[in-house]
Amino acid sequence: MCQEGDEAKEDCGSREEWTLLFWTSLAVVVPVILTLWCSAQRSKRRTYMKEFFRKSKHGWHYTDLFNKPTYCCVCSQHILHGAFCDCCGVCADEQCLRRADRSLPCKEIVAPCRPDGTTEHRWVRGNVPLASYCAACKQQCGTQPKLCDFRCIWCQTTVHDDCMDSLAGKDTCDLGEFHSLIIPPHYLHRVNKLRRRLPDEYSKLGASCGRNWTPVLVLANTRSGNNMGEALLGEFRTLLNPVQVFDLSELTPPKALQLCTLLPPGRVLVLVCGGDGTVGWVLDAIDAMKLKDQDQFIPRVTILPLGTGNDLSNTLGWGAGYAGEIPVEQVLRNVLEAEVVKMDRWKVQVASKGLYFRKPKVLSMNNYFSVGPDALMALNFHAHREKTPSFFSSRIINKAVYFLYGTKDCLVQECKDLDKRVELELDGERVALPSLEGIIVCNIGYWGGGCRLWEGMGDEPCPPTRLDDGLLEVVGVFGSFHCAQIQVKLANPVRLGQAHTVRLVLKSSTMPMQVDGEPWAQGPCTITITHKTQALMLYHSGEQTDDDDDDEESSTSEPESPAPHDSPRRQWSTALQA
For 366-410, the pLDDT digits (tens) are 999 999 888 887 787 665 565 565 555 555 555 555 556 445 544
State the CB neighbour count (10 A cutoff) for residue 400.
Answer: 10
Report yes or no on 432 lying in a domain. Answer: yes
Give the CATH number for residue 235: 3.40.50.10330
Report yes or no on 6 lying in a domain. Answer: no
The pLDDT of residue 349 is 94
> Is 253 in the same domain as 386?
no
> Is 521 in the same domain as 389?
yes
The dihedral through the CA atoms of 31, 35, 36, 40 has a sign that is positive
> Is 172 in the same domain as 184?
no
Q: DSSP secondary structure string, 13-32? A: HHHHHHHHHHHHHHHHHHHH
Looking at this protein, which amino acid is placed at residue 528? T
Strand partners, 440: 370, 475
Residue 354 CB burial class (10 angstroms; 0-12, 13-18, ≥19):
exposed
> Is 218 in the same domain as 328?
yes
Report yes or no on 271 lying in a domain. Answer: yes
For 282-301, the pLDDT digits (tens) are 999 999 998 888 889 999 99
> Is 394 in the same domain as 507?
yes
The pLDDT of residue 451 is 84
The pLDDT of residue 566 is 41
Q: Which of 301, 324, 340 is the last residue of a domain?
A: 340
| pLDDT block averages, 10 residues each, the chain of length 578 | 59 75 83 83 72 85 86 92 90 91 91 87 91 90 90 93 82 90 93 87 88 93 75 92 93 93 93 91 93 90 86 90 88 94 95 78 92 83 59 56 52 71 93 90 86 76 86 90 80 90 91 88 93 94 48 40 39 41
Report yes or no on 172 lying in a domain. Answer: yes
> Is 444 in the same domain as 428?
yes
Give the CATH number for residue 419: 2.60.200.40
The pLDDT of residue 568 is 39
Phi/psi for 110 (5° steps) reads -130, 115
Report yes or no on 232 lying in a domain. Answer: yes
Q: Distance between CA atoms of 408 and 482, rounded to whole angstroms? A: 14
Report yes or no on 89 lying in a domain. Answer: yes
The pLDDT of residue 547 is 40
Question: Directed axis angle between helix 480-487 and helix 373-387, to 10°?
Answer: 90
Coil, strand, or helix at residue 262? helix
Range of the domain at 74: 43-106
Spatial CA neighbour of 528 closest among 415, 283, 362:
362
Report yes or no on 529 lying in a domain. Answer: yes
Residue 460 near residue 425, CB atoms below 8 Å? no
Phi/psi for 100 (5° steps) reads -65, -40
Residues belonging to the chain: 578
> Is 83 in the same domain as 54?
yes
The pLDDT of residue 487 is 79
Give the CATH number for residue 98: 3.30.60.20
Distance of CA 20 to the CA centre of its chain: 60
> Is 366 in the same domain as 426?
yes
Q: Which of 176, 195, 213 is the last residue of a domain?
A: 176
Residue 422 near residue 430, CB atoms below 8 Å? no
> What domain count does the chain have?
4
Strand partners, 246: 219
**Helix count (H) and strand count (E) of the chain?**
14, 28
The pLDDT of residue 546 is 40
Looking at this protein, which amino acid is placed at residue 282? V
> Is 170 in the same domain as 215?
no
Q: Distance between CA atoms of 216 and 240, rounded to whole angstroms? A: 9
Cα maximum dimension of the chain: 118
> Is 468 in the same domain as 412?
yes
Report yes or no on 286 lying in a domain. Answer: yes
Q: Which of 340, 367, 397 is the last residue of a domain?
A: 340
> Is 131 in the same domain as 253?
no
> Is 91 in the same domain as 136?
no
Q: Which residues does 498 contact at the CB level (< 8 Å), separation at least 6?
A: 426, 463, 471, 472, 473, 474
